[in-house]
Structure 1
Amino acid sequence: MRIYKILRADEWAALEAAGQTPGAPIDVADGYIHFSTAEQVVETAAKHFAGTEGLVLAALESDALGDALKWEPSRGGALFPHLYGPLRLSDILWHRSLPVRDGAHVFPEGL
């Protein structure tokens, strides 16, 4: 299953430079890296990144992350993917910018 991580521009740049990251400050504070499914990612962007320019959407294959990926209840009791370990650049299948248009992020077609 494809899962998605939204990163700020500086977080993406740091990931590219280092090859891995412990995540955003909220990820580090929570002890795991937050991901969303295709069904969850638009709401995640609206709730946590409203109006933020310069975001990057990264896609990963959940099965490739092995036992470090746990599905845990979060918003509204829905299960969200959480990675207990670093996010490695080599695990990312593709990435795209998330521009803001009319106050909302524009996601790639076909998520």
Structure 2
Amino acid sequence: MAYIAHILAPADWETFEQTEEYRPASLDEQGFVHCSKLGQIVVVADVAHAHRDEWVLLLLDESRLEAPVRYETNEDGGSSFPHVYGPLTLDAVVDSFDFERDQTGFRLPEGLLNYESVR
């Protein structure tokens, strides 16, 4: 099973759970939903999400996403990131975790390590 992750605000997660579909602004603005490989989560959060201390981290089963996933290299030509070219659907969400930042930055939630392929 291939897992990818998406970080979103707690209020957006509540709405997603009710509507069973999530369409962040990036889908309209850039045509895709930003996601991360599991080894990229903390770095992405520390860079892109440091303006807020509380987030929700979604663990997604890539094979259960209805929209195509493309791994694309960022502007600096370095790492490739998974981009989902359509809305996220609730049935692709394997688990959700509170994802909090402390004075040193973000850390992977302990519960995430329960997933064999994450280790």
TM-score class normalised by the smaller sequence? 0.7 to 0.9
Q: Which amino acid aligns with 1:96?
A: F
Question: Deviations for 1:55-102, whole angstroms, at most 9, x for unmatched residues?
Answer: 000001223326611111116432111111110111100000012222
Q: Among the aligned pairs, what percent are the same residue? A: 25
CA RMSD of aligned residues (A): 1.8
Answer yes or no: is the 8 Å Cα contact 1:51–1:105 preserved in 2.
no
Aligned length: 110
In structure 1, runs of 5+ residues without a counterpart are none
TM-score by length of 1: 0.86
Q: Distance in 1 between matches of 2:7 and 2:15?
A: 14
In structure 2, runs of 5+ residues without a counterpart are none
Q: Distance in 2 between matches of 1:41 and 1:106?
A: 9
Q: Give the equivalent residue in structure 1 for 2:94.
A: 93
Q: CA deviation at 1:106?
A: 2.7
Q: Give the equivalent residue in structure 2 for 1:32.
A: 32
TM-score by length of 2: 0.81
- SS of the aligned residue for 1:99 comes to strand
Q: CA deviation at 1:41?
A: 1.1
Answer yes or no: is the 8 Å Cα contact 2:53–2:102 preserved in 1.
no
